[in-house]
Structure 1
């Protein structure tokens, strides 16, 4: 049913639930598991990040740590990807590039406000992905 699964993470609790779910699905379906972390340049602005003396490097380093943790916790092989840009667009672009059969992500990320049932990134991915999406 699923040959390639993409899970997006930002290290939030919801993203961690998504990682667990995606890992279980990949194990059950013997699917390839990919995980992506996107540095949200729309939140800070590329010019701010490039002028901030290593801020972009710090954010990418944080993402690398999160992805390493995902790979270490998983009982399947994980391919990792770090990108910079608008998260929903980068998730969709990477999903298309790897021909993902399924995208899994948290229903709310670190940037979601309290009481939001579905964060803006999750909502845009669900709306625009062109492939099945599960939110956790």
Structure 2
């Protein structure tokens, strides 16, 4: 039924849940995931800069890594323009069967903008649009608990590490729905992201 699923993403916690849902749909139907990030342009002028482009690249790369981990075919793209217009144009040009979007992005103005983009896409799209709301039911609200989970996840991933011997390099900090825990081992520095709702942990960066 669905051969091509489009997941617009800005790399924020709000879009992470839409990525999870989009991946699950793609796995169920053997579909290809299209990860799209848009560097915004609007009535106040171009918001394009090196930082924005780099963030967009990282956002689609995150989806690409997740797709590879789950064995899902993936196509990535970074476009510049008015976000809802670029999403709709991409869906049309690539014969997308479904769009999966978050209703909330980053906090503040970006959060409002992402909600507005989703609303426009829902109203104007010719294909089904699945919207995924960022839950507010935060379960991991303590830095010590996030650190414990991050240590255990890193030790399990490596196989040769003792959680008690992993050093906390900086105080963990929380974004809208995940903890970022900087950890150090004898040979490496790692940032582990702990989902504040599910408790799921993943290694975010592993510098050479």
Q: TM-score, normalised by structure 1?
A: 0.85
Counterpart check, 1:64 vs 2:64? no
- Could you tell which deviates more after superposition, 100-109 or 37-46? 37-46
Unaligned stretches of 5+ residues in structure 2: 133-208
Q: How far is 1:58 from its partner?
A: 2.4
Aligned to 1:112: 111
Task: State the secondary structure of the residue aligned to 2:121.
Answer: helix
Aligned to 1:101: 97
Task: Choose from 123, 128, 144 the match for 1:132.
Answer: 128
The CA deviation at 1:43 is 7.0
Structure having the larger proportion of residues in helix:
1
Secondary structure at 1:33 match in 2: strand
Give runs of ≥4 in structure 1 deviating > 3 Å.
none
Deviation at 1:109, TM superposition (A): 2.1
**Runs of 5+ consecutive residues of structure 1 not aligned to the other structure:** 50-54
Partner of 2:75: 79
After TM superposition, give the deviation of residue 130 of structure 1 in Å: 1.2
Shift in Å, 1:96: 0.4
Task: Report the Cα offset of residue 77 of structure 1.
Answer: 2.1
**For 1:24 and 1:112, how far apart are their aligned partners in 2?**
24
Taking the aligned partners of 1:12 and 1:43, their CA distance within structure 2 comes to 23
| Counterpart-to-counterpart distance in 1, 2:44 and 2:79 | 15
* TM-score scaled by length of structure 2: 0.57
Bigger CA radius of gyration:
2
Q: What's 2:40 paired with?
A: 40
- The one of the two structures with greater contact order (alpha-carbon pairs below 8 A, sep at least 6) is 1
Q: Paired residue for 2:177?
A: none
- Between the two proteins, the alignment pairs up a number of residues equal to 126
